[in-house]
Amino acid sequence: MESQVTYHIGIETGGTTCKVGIFQSPISAHHILASETIPTRHPDETVADICAFFNKHEQYTYSSMGVAAFGPICLDKKDSLYGYVTTTPKEHWGNYPLLPNLLAGIKNKSPSMKIAFDTDVNMVALFENIRTGGGKSQNIAYITVGTGIGVGIVVNGQMVHGLIHPEGGHIRVPILNEDQGFEGVCKYHGKCLEGLCTNVAIAKRFGHHVDENATKIKDDDQVWDRVGFYLGQCCANLILFLSLEKIIIGGGVMNREILYPLIQKHCKEALNGYISHPNLTSVEGLAKVIVKPEIEKDLGIIAAAVVGEGSEDTI
Ligand SMILES: [Zn+2]
Protein backbone atom coordinates (compact mmCIF):
# COMPACT_ATOMS: atom_id res chain seq x y z
CA MET A 1 0.00 0.00 0.00
CA GLU A 2 1.32 3.42 -0.86
CA SER A 3 1.85 5.69 2.08
CA GLN A 4 -0.16 8.87 2.22
CA VAL A 5 1.39 11.90 0.55
CA THR A 6 2.37 14.66 2.99
CA TYR A 7 3.48 18.25 2.42
CA HIS A 8 6.57 19.93 3.82
CA ILE A 9 8.01 23.43 4.08
CA GLY A 10 11.62 24.36 3.37
CA ILE A 11 12.83 27.90 4.08
CA GLU A 12 16.31 29.32 3.66
CA THR A 13 16.91 32.89 4.79
CA GLY A 14 19.91 34.61 3.29
CA GLY A 15 21.41 38.06 3.57
CA THR A 16 20.34 39.00 0.04
CA THR A 17 17.51 36.61 -0.79
CA CYS A 18 15.31 34.05 0.92
CA LYS A 19 14.26 30.85 -0.80
CA VAL A 20 11.01 29.06 0.02
CA GLY A 21 9.68 25.73 -1.21
CA ILE A 22 6.80 23.32 -0.77
CA PHE A 23 7.73 19.64 -1.02
CA GLN A 24 5.70 16.52 -1.40
CA SER A 25 6.90 13.36 0.35
CA PRO A 26 9.33 11.72 -0.16
CA ILE A 27 11.25 14.99 -0.13
CA SER A 28 13.76 15.38 -2.95
CA ALA A 29 14.81 17.78 -5.68
CA HIS A 30 12.16 16.15 -7.87
CA HIS A 31 9.32 16.69 -5.43
CA ILE A 32 9.29 20.48 -5.22
CA LEU A 33 5.68 21.49 -5.87
CA ALA A 34 6.34 25.23 -5.77
CA SER A 35 9.23 27.49 -4.90
CA GLU A 36 10.05 31.16 -4.91
CA THR A 37 12.95 33.50 -4.26
CA ILE A 38 12.10 36.49 -2.08
CA PRO A 39 14.42 39.48 -1.73
CA THR A 40 15.56 40.00 1.87
CA ARG A 41 14.43 43.44 3.09
CA HIS A 42 13.05 44.61 6.43
CA PRO A 43 12.33 41.36 8.30
CA ASP A 44 8.62 42.14 8.79
CA GLU A 45 8.12 42.61 5.04
CA THR A 46 10.27 39.59 4.20
CA VAL A 47 8.47 37.28 6.64
CA ALA A 48 5.09 38.56 5.41
CA ASP A 49 6.08 37.59 1.85
CA ILE A 50 7.32 34.16 2.99
CA CYS A 51 4.06 33.46 4.83
CA ALA A 52 1.98 34.76 1.90
CA PHE A 53 3.73 32.27 -0.40
CA PHE A 54 2.75 29.29 1.76
CA ASN A 55 -0.73 30.65 2.48
CA LYS A 56 -1.62 31.16 -1.16
CA HIS A 57 -1.16 27.40 -1.71
CA GLU A 58 -4.13 26.70 0.51
CA GLN A 59 -4.67 23.19 -0.87
CA TYR A 60 -1.75 21.88 1.23
CA THR A 61 -1.66 21.13 4.95
CA TYR A 62 1.93 21.24 6.14
CA SER A 63 3.30 18.32 8.17
CA SER A 64 6.71 19.84 8.81
CA MET A 65 8.74 22.99 8.48
CA GLY A 66 12.52 23.38 8.31
CA VAL A 67 14.11 26.82 8.54
CA ALA A 68 17.76 27.20 7.51
CA ALA A 69 18.66 30.67 8.75
CA PHE A 70 21.60 33.01 8.47
CA GLY A 71 23.06 33.66 11.89
CA PRO A 72 23.76 34.34 14.54
CA ILE A 73 20.55 32.76 15.83
CA CYS A 74 19.39 31.46 19.19
CA LEU A 75 19.14 27.66 19.19
CA ASP A 76 18.68 27.10 22.93
CA LYS A 77 15.16 25.74 23.26
CA LYS A 78 15.06 26.73 26.94
CA ASP A 79 15.86 30.34 26.11
CA SER A 80 12.99 32.82 25.66
CA LEU A 81 14.80 34.01 22.52
CA TYR A 82 14.77 30.56 20.87
CA GLY A 83 14.16 31.00 17.15
CA TYR A 84 15.36 34.60 17.13
CA VAL A 85 18.02 36.12 14.94
CA THR A 86 20.30 37.63 17.59
CA THR A 87 23.28 39.94 17.11
CA THR A 88 23.51 40.28 13.36
CA PRO A 89 24.79 43.63 12.10
CA LYS A 90 22.17 43.36 9.32
CA GLU A 91 19.86 46.34 9.73
CA HIS A 92 16.53 45.64 11.51
CA TRP A 93 17.30 41.89 11.82
CA GLY A 94 18.98 42.06 15.23
CA ASN A 95 16.87 40.40 17.97
CA TYR A 96 14.20 39.53 15.44
CA PRO A 97 11.70 36.75 16.32
CA LEU A 98 12.06 34.89 13.03
CA LEU A 99 10.69 31.47 13.95
CA PRO A 100 7.83 32.81 16.13
CA ASN A 101 6.72 35.17 13.36
CA LEU A 102 6.86 32.43 10.72
CA LEU A 103 4.77 30.15 12.94
CA ALA A 104 2.28 32.94 13.59
CA GLY A 105 1.99 33.84 9.91
CA ILE A 106 1.75 30.47 8.20
CA LYS A 107 -1.75 28.97 8.12
CA ASN A 108 -2.64 25.36 7.26
CA LYS A 109 -0.23 23.86 9.75
CA SER A 110 -1.05 20.33 10.79
CA PRO A 111 -1.74 20.24 14.56
CA SER A 112 1.42 18.20 15.10
CA MET A 113 3.62 20.00 12.57
CA LYS A 114 7.29 19.13 13.07
CA ILE A 115 9.80 21.97 13.24
CA ALA A 116 13.53 22.31 12.71
CA PHE A 117 15.31 25.65 13.07
CA ASP A 118 19.06 25.91 12.65
CA THR A 119 21.86 27.63 10.79
CA ASP A 120 21.84 27.21 7.03
CA VAL A 121 25.18 25.37 7.15
CA ASN A 122 24.26 23.06 10.05
CA MET A 123 21.10 22.11 8.15
CA VAL A 124 23.06 21.13 5.05
CA ALA A 125 25.62 19.19 7.11
CA LEU A 126 22.86 17.15 8.77
CA PHE A 127 21.06 16.68 5.46
CA GLU A 128 24.26 15.32 3.89
CA ASN A 129 24.66 13.00 6.85
CA ILE A 130 21.11 11.68 6.35
CA ARG A 131 21.47 11.52 2.57
CA THR A 132 24.85 9.83 2.29
CA GLY A 133 25.32 8.06 5.61
CA GLY A 134 23.20 5.02 4.75
CA GLY A 135 21.81 5.05 8.28
CA LYS A 136 25.26 5.37 9.85
CA SER A 137 26.05 8.74 11.34
CA GLN A 138 29.19 10.38 10.07
CA ASN A 139 31.19 13.34 11.29
CA ILE A 140 30.61 15.92 8.58
CA ALA A 141 31.24 19.60 7.98
CA TYR A 142 29.58 21.76 5.39
CA ILE A 143 31.46 24.93 4.51
CA THR A 144 30.01 27.67 2.37
CA VAL A 145 32.35 30.24 0.86
CA GLY A 146 30.59 33.26 -0.62
CA THR A 147 30.25 36.80 0.72
CA GLY A 148 30.86 35.20 4.12
CA ILE A 149 32.10 31.82 5.30
CA GLY A 150 29.83 29.52 7.27
CA VAL A 151 30.78 26.19 8.78
CA GLY A 152 28.10 23.70 9.82
CA ILE A 153 29.16 20.65 11.80
CA VAL A 154 27.53 17.31 12.52
CA VAL A 155 29.23 15.10 15.10
CA ASN A 156 27.80 11.72 16.14
CA GLY A 157 24.75 12.42 14.01
CA GLN A 158 23.91 15.70 15.78
CA MET A 159 24.24 19.29 14.62
CA VAL A 160 26.73 21.04 16.90
CA HIS A 161 25.15 23.82 18.99
CA GLY A 162 26.79 24.26 22.40
CA LEU A 163 27.20 27.80 23.60
CA ILE A 164 25.75 29.27 20.38
CA HIS A 165 26.64 27.43 17.18
CA PRO A 166 29.93 27.03 15.30
CA GLU A 167 31.31 30.20 13.70
CA GLY A 168 34.22 28.52 11.97
CA GLY A 169 34.51 31.19 9.28
CA HIS A 170 36.33 33.35 11.81
CA ILE A 171 39.18 31.01 12.75
CA ARG A 172 42.76 32.21 12.41
CA VAL A 173 45.01 30.58 9.83
CA PRO A 174 48.73 31.04 9.09
CA ILE A 175 49.22 34.06 6.83
CA LEU A 176 51.20 33.59 3.62
CA ASN A 177 54.02 36.01 2.87
CA GLU A 178 52.14 37.23 -0.20
CA ASP A 179 49.31 38.37 2.07
CA GLN A 180 51.41 40.13 4.71
CA GLY A 181 50.49 43.49 3.25
CA PHE A 182 46.81 42.64 2.77
CA GLU A 183 44.62 43.75 5.63
CA GLY A 184 41.72 41.34 5.07
CA VAL A 185 38.04 42.25 5.10
CA CYS A 186 36.60 40.94 8.38
CA LYS A 187 35.32 43.83 10.47
CA TYR A 188 36.21 41.96 13.65
CA HIS A 189 39.46 40.16 12.83
CA GLY A 190 40.89 41.50 9.59
CA LYS A 191 42.67 38.42 8.30
CA CYS A 192 40.58 35.57 9.72
CA LEU A 193 39.52 32.86 7.25
CA GLU A 194 36.51 34.93 6.16
CA GLY A 195 38.65 38.04 5.96
CA LEU A 196 40.95 36.24 3.50
CA CYS A 197 38.78 34.00 1.32
CA THR A 198 35.35 35.49 0.58
CA ASN A 199 34.49 36.95 -2.80
CA VAL A 200 34.85 40.38 -1.15
CA ALA A 201 38.37 39.54 0.06
CA ILE A 202 39.36 38.23 -3.36
CA ALA A 203 37.99 41.33 -5.12
CA LYS A 204 39.72 43.64 -2.64
CA ARG A 205 43.14 42.22 -3.52
CA PHE A 206 42.54 43.30 -7.12
CA GLY A 207 40.78 46.55 -6.29
CA HIS A 208 37.74 45.59 -8.32
CA HIS A 209 34.08 44.86 -7.60
CA VAL A 210 33.05 41.34 -6.52
CA ASP A 211 31.04 40.93 -9.72
CA GLU A 212 34.29 41.17 -11.68
CA ASN A 213 35.94 38.18 -9.98
CA ALA A 214 34.46 35.76 -12.49
CA THR A 215 35.61 37.64 -15.58
CA LYS A 216 38.80 39.40 -14.51
CA ILE A 217 40.63 36.64 -12.62
CA LYS A 218 42.04 33.73 -14.62
CA ASP A 219 42.10 30.17 -13.34
CA ASP A 220 45.90 30.22 -13.15
CA ASP A 221 46.06 33.37 -11.03
CA GLN A 222 47.97 32.69 -7.84
CA VAL A 223 45.17 34.15 -5.71
CA TRP A 224 43.39 30.79 -6.03
CA ASP A 225 46.38 28.99 -4.57
CA ARG A 226 46.25 31.37 -1.62
CA VAL A 227 42.52 30.80 -1.09
CA GLY A 228 43.12 27.06 -1.48
CA PHE A 229 45.89 27.24 1.10
CA TYR A 230 43.71 28.95 3.73
CA LEU A 231 40.73 26.67 3.14
CA GLY A 232 43.12 23.69 3.19
CA GLN A 233 44.34 24.78 6.65
CA CYS A 234 40.73 25.05 7.79
CA CYS A 235 39.99 21.52 6.54
CA ALA A 236 43.10 20.10 8.21
CA ASN A 237 42.14 21.77 11.50
CA LEU A 238 38.59 20.45 11.27
CA ILE A 239 39.87 16.92 10.57
CA LEU A 240 42.33 17.10 13.47
CA PHE A 241 39.76 18.45 15.92
CA LEU A 242 36.69 16.48 14.95
CA SER A 243 37.88 13.39 13.09
CA LEU A 244 35.71 14.36 10.17
CA GLU A 245 34.87 11.82 7.52
CA LYS A 246 33.62 14.31 4.99
CA ILE A 247 33.91 18.04 4.31
CA ILE A 248 31.51 19.39 1.72
CA ILE A 249 32.37 22.84 0.40
CA GLY A 250 29.91 24.97 -1.55
CA GLY A 251 29.04 28.63 -2.09
CA GLY A 252 29.69 31.08 -4.90
CA VAL A 253 33.48 31.23 -4.58
CA MET A 254 33.62 27.45 -5.07
CA ASN A 255 32.21 27.82 -8.60
CA ARG A 256 35.92 28.18 -9.35
CA GLU A 257 36.36 24.41 -9.54
CA ILE A 258 40.16 24.48 -9.52
CA LEU A 259 39.86 25.33 -5.82
CA TYR A 260 38.94 21.75 -4.91
CA PRO A 261 42.28 20.14 -5.92
CA LEU A 262 44.15 23.10 -4.40
CA ILE A 263 42.35 22.71 -1.07
CA GLN A 264 42.98 18.95 -1.11
CA LYS A 265 46.68 19.49 -1.83
CA HIS A 266 47.15 22.07 0.92
CA CYS A 267 45.15 20.02 3.40
CA LYS A 268 47.39 17.02 2.71
CA GLU A 269 50.49 19.14 3.20
CA ALA A 270 49.13 20.57 6.45
CA LEU A 271 48.38 17.09 7.82
CA ASN A 272 51.80 15.95 6.57
CA GLY A 273 51.10 12.24 6.89
CA TYR A 274 50.50 12.35 10.64
CA ILE A 275 47.19 10.50 10.57
CA SER A 276 47.73 7.18 8.82
CA HIS A 277 44.32 6.85 7.23
CA PRO A 278 44.38 6.16 3.48
CA ASN A 279 41.95 9.03 2.87
CA LEU A 280 44.29 11.52 4.52
CA THR A 281 47.73 10.64 3.19
CA SER A 282 47.20 11.33 -0.52
CA VAL A 283 45.45 13.93 -2.64
CA GLU A 284 43.42 11.08 -4.17
CA GLY A 285 42.28 10.08 -0.70
CA LEU A 286 41.47 13.64 0.28
CA ALA A 287 39.44 13.97 -2.91
CA LYS A 288 37.02 11.53 -1.25
CA VAL A 289 36.91 13.62 1.93
CA ILE A 290 36.81 17.20 0.58
CA VAL A 291 34.02 17.28 -1.98
CA LYS A 292 31.55 19.59 -3.63
CA PRO A 293 27.82 19.28 -2.95
CA GLU A 294 26.17 16.76 -5.25
CA ILE A 295 22.96 18.76 -5.14
CA GLU A 296 23.56 22.37 -6.05
CA LYS A 297 20.19 23.76 -7.02
CA ASP A 298 17.87 24.40 -4.06
CA LEU A 299 20.26 22.67 -1.63
CA GLY A 300 19.28 24.94 1.29
CA ILE A 301 15.51 24.43 1.06
CA ILE A 302 15.83 20.70 0.33
CA ALA A 303 18.09 20.30 3.38
CA ALA A 304 15.73 22.38 5.54
CA ALA A 305 12.69 20.35 4.44
CA VAL A 306 14.41 16.99 5.01
CA VAL A 307 15.71 17.97 8.46
CA GLY A 308 12.30 19.43 9.34
CA GLU A 309 10.55 16.21 8.40
CA GLY A 310 12.94 14.19 10.56
CA SER A 311 12.69 16.53 13.55
CA GLU A 312 11.33 15.38 16.89
CA ASP A 313 10.14 18.89 17.78
CA THR A 314 6.54 19.86 17.10
CA ILE A 315 4.55 23.09 17.46
ZN1 LIG B 1 36.45 37.29 11.34
According to the CATH classification, is domain 125-291 in 3.30.420.40?
yes
Q: How far is the CA of 197 from the centre of ligand 1 (A)?
A: 11
User: Which residue type occupies 254?
Assistant: M
What confidence score (pLDDT) does residue 238 get?
Answer: 97
Class of residue 165 by CB neighbours under 10 A (exposed 0-12, middle 13-18, buried 19+): buried
Task: Tell me the percentage of the chain whose pLDDT exceeds 70.
Answer: 99
For residue 177, how many other CB atoms are within 10 A of its CB?
6
Contact present, 248 and 293 (Cβ < 8 Å): yes
What confidence score (pLDDT) does residue 296 get?
Answer: 86
Q: Is the confidence at residue 102, as pLDDT, over 60?
A: yes
Same CATH fold, 125-291 and 7-119+297-310? yes
Q: What is the mean pLDDT of the chain?
A: 95
What confidence score (pLDDT) does residue 233 get?
Answer: 98
pLDDT for 230-283, tens place per residue?
A: 999 999 999 999 999 999 999 999 999 999 999 999 999 999 999 999 999 999
Q: Is the confidence at residue 1, as pLDDT, over 70?
A: no
Average pLDDT rounded to a whole number, residues 87-113: 95
For residue 57, how many other CB atoms are within 10 A of its CB?
13
Q: How far is the CA of 273 from the centre of ligand 1 (A)?
A: 29
Average pLDDT rounded to a whole number, residues 34-51: 98
Q: How far is the CA of 194 from the centre of ligand 1 (A)?
A: 6
Q: How far is the CA of 203 from the centre of ligand 1 (A)?
A: 17
Q: Is the confidence at residue 58, as pLDDT, over 70?
A: yes
Contact present, 23 and 62 (Cβ < 8 Å): no
pLDDT band for 88, please (50, 70, 90 cuts).
confident
Q: Is the confidence at residue 3, as pLDDT, over 80?
A: no
Buried b (16+ CB within 10 A) or exposed e, 265-290: bbbbebbeeeeeeebbbeeeebbebb
What confidence score (pLDDT) does residue 2 get?
Answer: 56
Q: Is the confidence at residue 136, as pLDDT, over 90?
A: no
**72 closest CA partner among 61, 96, 95, 88:** 88
pLDDT for 105-132, tens place per residue?
A: 999 999 999 999 999 999 999 999 999 8
Q: How far is the CA of 4 from the centre of ligand 1 (A)?
A: 47
Q: How far is the CA of 50 from the centre of ligand 1 (A)?
A: 30
Q: How far is the CA of 188 from the centre of ligand 1 (A)?
A: 5
Domain spans in the chain, listed from the N-terminal domain onward: 7-119+297-310, 125-291
Q: Is the confidence at residue 195, as pLDDT, over 70?
A: yes
Q: What is the pTM of this model?
A: 0.93
3-state secondary structure 191-250: CCHHHHHCHHHHHHHHCCCHHHHHHHCCCCCCHHHHHHHHHHHHHHHHHHHHCCCEEEEE
What is the side-by-side order of every strand in the sheet holding 62-69? 32-39, 17-24, 7-13, 62-69, 109-119
Q: How far is the CA of 233 from the centre of ligand 1 (A)?
A: 16
The residue that leads in pLDDT, 287 or 87, is 287
Q: How far is the CA of 38 from the centre of ligand 1 (A)?
A: 28
CATH code for residues 7-119+297-310: 3.30.420.40
Beta-strand relationship, 32-39 and 17-24: antiparallel
User: Which residue type occupies 4?
Assistant: Q
pLDDT band for 312, please (50, 70, 90 cuts).
very high
